[in-house]
Amino acid sequence: MHEQNQYSYELNPEMLKQLGEEFDVEKTTAAFAEQVKGKSADEIASEGRAFFEAYGTNWIRKALKLGEEYPDRTYEVLKMAIDKGDGYFKFALLPQRFIEIAYLSTQDIPVLPIIENNPERLIYRMVECNMFKGLKDKCGEDVAKQLPCQHACIAACKTIHKDLDIDANIDMEASIPVEGYCQFAARRA
């Protein structure tokens, strides 16, 4: 009798839990609030950029590391398609995987809304952001509206493309304070 392989197509819950605990939004926003307590708007903007760029870079690199350590069948098939297509499918499918791992580990969302994914563009959106809510709760509306957390998302997107050796231009196309959601775009350079 032939034994059938049991494949998992789901992201490993232990991986998501581990990443979510290490990059806990509640602890992160509390640490930032403490760091900028009593500082001017300019100081908050400057410190916010440095604080969240470091967070975003470390967060996505850990998502990449864990994503490699906990492969699922979807990832295996994706890698086969990339290899078979001489790397053609690398952008934007590969970065999307690790971006999804990062967001699904720290946000209360079942899926990351992907607006566009093709060989030229990867565009994704965050509608209900725990980081923004945490900043609003701990630092107030004015600090949250400065959107220091955007630097985490932009740094994560830039870093994953760089670390995967994909030349892409990264832009933030929308923000929660203006459009009601944040939207990020990676375009093949």
How many angstroms separate the CA atoms of 168 and 12, rounded? 28
**pLDDT at res. 85:** 83
**Which tokens is 164 given?**
């995967």
How much of the chain, in percent, has pLDDT values that exceed 90? 86
How many angstroms separate the CA atoms of 26 and 90, rounded? 33
Residue 181 burial (CB count, 10 A): 16
How many angstroms separate the CA atoms of 27 and 134, rounded? 9
Question: Which tens digits make up the pLDDT trace of 44-102?
Answer: 999 999 999 999 999 999 999 999 999 889 899 999 989 888 888 899 999 999 999 99
Residue 31 burial (CB count, 10 A): 14
Integer-rounded Cα radius of gyration of the chain: 18
**pLDDT at res. 87:** 80
pTM (predicted TM-score): 0.93
How many angstroms separate the CA atoms of 149 and 49, rounded? 8
Number of H helices, E strands in the chain: 9, 4
Residues 29, 31, 33: CA angle, nearest 5 degrees? 65
Residue 45 burial (CB count, 10 A): 16
Decide if pLDDT at 2 tops 80. Answer: no
